[in-house]
Amino acid sequence: MDIENRDRSAYRLEEQIGFKLRLANQKHLEVFARMMPDVTPTQFAVLAKLLDEDTISQNQLGRLVGMDAATTKGVVDRLRAKGFVRRTKSTSDMRRLDISLTPEGHAFAAQAVRTATEISQATAANLTRREVERLLDLLDKL
């Protein structure tokens, strides 16, 4: 076997972490879309974080859920159109926009968090509790 063929045979796509993560993410997104069709995972992340934070600046919200400023603005705009969040000028810094849940958004987010727990369980249905804990620990290391 020449070097070119040996190098090609050493790399197996199915054994690569990125490939496996993408497949796992696809499975999770399928479960999420089936069980929570009214919002996307990024919209849910914003709603869940707002349940914890009450009112928060749009920039800080984006940082807490791992989104850049442009993506955060788009997600907030879509959630505003659904009537789930409101955006107001900060009273302490007029350059800052504060984001909070509307009463409808609060009710939706509270139910969505319960559904998200079921989504996580469905995604990890083939794993033991210990395996789930280990997987979460390993993902934190990445």
Find out whether 58 and 76 touch, Cβ atoms under 8 Å: yes
For the whole model, what pTM was predicted? 0.85
pLDDT score recorded for residue 14: 92
As a whole number of Å, the end-to-end CA separation of the chain is 36
Per-residue confidence (pLDDT) for residue 68, from 0 to 100: 94
pLDDT at 10: 83
Q: How far apart are CA 113 and CA 111, in angstroms?
A: 5
Low-confidence ranges of the chain (pLDDT < 70): 1-9
Domains plus CATH for the chain? Answer: 11-141 (1.10.10.10)
